[in-house]
Every structure is written in C-alpha cells, then in structure tokens.
Structure 1
C-alpha cells in the first residue's frame, strides 16, 4: 500500500504540540494510524510519524523502538476491546446465547468500522506475520475467534453441529465480521452503526439461526451492549 505517486512519506513539518494534545505515546500511535492507512506502512518513515506527532525522531524512540513496534501496538489495539467484551458476554450465562453472539458480532464490527482510520486493513499487511513482534496480536485474535466459537456452540443452531462443521461455521462468522474492513475500504462513507448492525444480523444467519430468532437476538443483544461498561 504505497502512495499513489510511489513517493515515500518523508518529512512533514514538525507541528507545535497543543496544550490539549494527547500524551506523546498516544500522539505517536495516532500519527502512525493516520500515515499507515493513508500512505501505506512501507512508504511511511519513522521520521514522518514522529514529525506528524509533533516531535523529533530521536524523541520517538523513548516510546517505540521502531515502525514495527508501532504497527504491532496498533493491531493489538483493534482486538483487545472486542476480547474484553467477549469475555464479559461469555460470563453472562443469564442471557440467551443468540443475543450474546449478536452482541459480540455487533460490538466487534462496530469497533472495526468506527475507528477514525481503517486500522483493520493493517491485518492484510505481509509484515503482520505469525510470531515475532506480532505473536501477541495473533494470540489475542485466536482467543477472540475461540470466543465466537464458544458462543456459537451455546446456541441451539450451533450446539447441534459436528465439531468440524462448528469450526468452519466459527471461521465464517469471524471472517464475516472482519469483512467490514474491506467494506469500509470500498465504501468509506457508509455509516458505521448501519454497517455493524447489518453485519451482526448477517452473522447470525450464517450461524444457522432463524430469522425470527435473529430479530429477537438483535433486540436483546442491544440491551446487553448498553449494560457493558464503557
């Protein structure tokens, strides 16, 4: 993902830091998110990130040891909030599993589609490989996928599936939710809330849940999300 002209992102002007600015580490992550998604990871230099954040390149290394560390932190940050919600929903055994599954799909899709920058698109980078600096990201993402599988297996539709079919259905659910990344790239102006609702409804249909039950899960799942701590 380079620039349209093939130029590297080099040295934007150093900005004066506002008195209401984010802490330096958060400023660097915000700058990296903007530049990586707008110009591409390969085309963006650490100097460009530092200067977009309003600091010198040498100062950046007090917070991150390089571009790969910035990328790893950004992609981990797209998974952690959804995983926290998933853990809470798994513990809510008083609620219908269909509603809990809808709530997970809706919150995950909403987080991926509502960020200022399409950070989920960074998953597609060849640099985000298994192991190394990105091992934690892949572990977190695997745990999130497993949470989808647990909630699916708790539903009437998912509980009757053979193990192999259940694993495939989980992959389809997880992939469908993450597909909002590509929809957002193609239709950047689409309202995030509308996209997240439609994705969660579609995910339950993929899970084999009846249309009537999808509508009920939608209503009850919204209630569960309102109860989630912000």
Structure 2
C-alpha cells in the first residue's frame, strides 16, 4: 500500500492555519465580512479581525469601503469574475452542510486539473473528533477520492496524456504505475464510487461519488470523510446513496433552466 500523502503536523499552529484558510476563502469566494470569517473558523470576531488585519498588511487581502474583505494582490485573483468552480461551490455548499448534519461527518468537494485535485469546498460535522476542511488544499489526483473518480472518466489514451513520463523525469517516484492505476479505475467505473482508506492521509477514510453536470460530464468529486476508526463497512452503501442523492440535487440546481 502507498504511504499516506499528507499528515497533519504534530504541533498545529492555529493562527497560521486560520490565516491560510482565510486566504484560501478570499481567493475562492471573493468577499467576506469579519463575522463570516469568524463563523467559518469558529473563532471570536476579534480574532478574525486581527487575522484579517495581518493579511491586509501583507497584501494577501484588501478591505473595501463597505468593510468587506477580498483577495489582495499577492493572491492574484480577479475576485469579481465568477468562475465555474465558484458557481459550483456556491451551489453545492448548502447541500453539503445539510449532508454533514445528517451523516455527522465532514463533506468535501474537489475538482481536477491535469494530475492534481483541488478541494474547493468543505462542510465540517459537529463531532469533536472530525476531519477538518481541506478547502484550498491540492493533492495528486491518483491519491485522492475525488481524483480517482475523475480520472475514471478518461480513456486509456487520455490517462496516459495526464501522466507523460517526461513530466516526471526529475521525480519518477511521483508518477503512478499506469497499469495498476487503470485496474483501480476500472473498479471505480464498475462500482460508481471510491472508498479511500488511509490513502491520502493516515487515519482518514473517505467515500466519494462523482458530481455530474446535467449532460453527464463529471464536474467534481463529492465525498464524506471521517476518522478511520469510526468507519463502519456496513454503512458503505447507505453513505454512497446519501452522497449520490446530494450530487443529483446539486446537479439539478446547476442546470441552466433552474435559474
């Protein structure tokens, strides 16, 4: 089995973690108030204000005349130009939050770009021991639930184009074994879901399904994540069904005639 890709540091520096999460939220969402940031991080408004003030000082954020914060020049994002990813995120989040409440586990949404996936939304559950939001984090696609779901949509030729040997000439260990990967993706296509146990992060189990556009194109991977010790194999199909229902509801809301 592959070694887990990422593990939380032994000593978490919460202020740094909070600041990085705020920067990610600003880059991906455009504008936020102090109250919104405080609510998302679960901190006091005064703490959120201090963090935002430091981000403004370092040009990661700017404050407008309405006292709202948006991404600053360091993040180099046209915050007022809504993208497909931001629309997907906005549409999906209410469903993700409801699902996190129903399943009492954390929900994530990720999209693929070439050989990586980026988590664009997260909804944490209320349990004290939980998988925290991975929003903004980037992982190699073949090591993640969403990545495997989205790679499974590719033909063998398209998959080979994602992983050309020359791209990995200076880091061959990062290139997956394509024969093994094709076998794994064939299983994903048969099952319609991915079960990821400790593959991305030690101690974390995730189950995911594809979120498809009305035309059938897989846009993202929608997953539920939990501490591995809390995963019950008997819940596999009920979790997959709950995720699939949520994915269908999100897709229906994305349809052009639903707006």
TM-score, shorter chain, exceeding 0.5? no
Instruction: Tell me the TM-score range normalised by the shorter chain.
Output: under 0.3
Higher helix fraction: Structure 1 or Structure 2? 1
The TM-score, its normalising length taken from structure 2, stands at 0.25
Higher strand fraction: Structure 1 or Structure 2? 2
Which is bigger in relative contact order (C-alpha 8 A, separation at least 6)? 1
The TM-score, its normalising length taken from structure 1, stands at 0.27
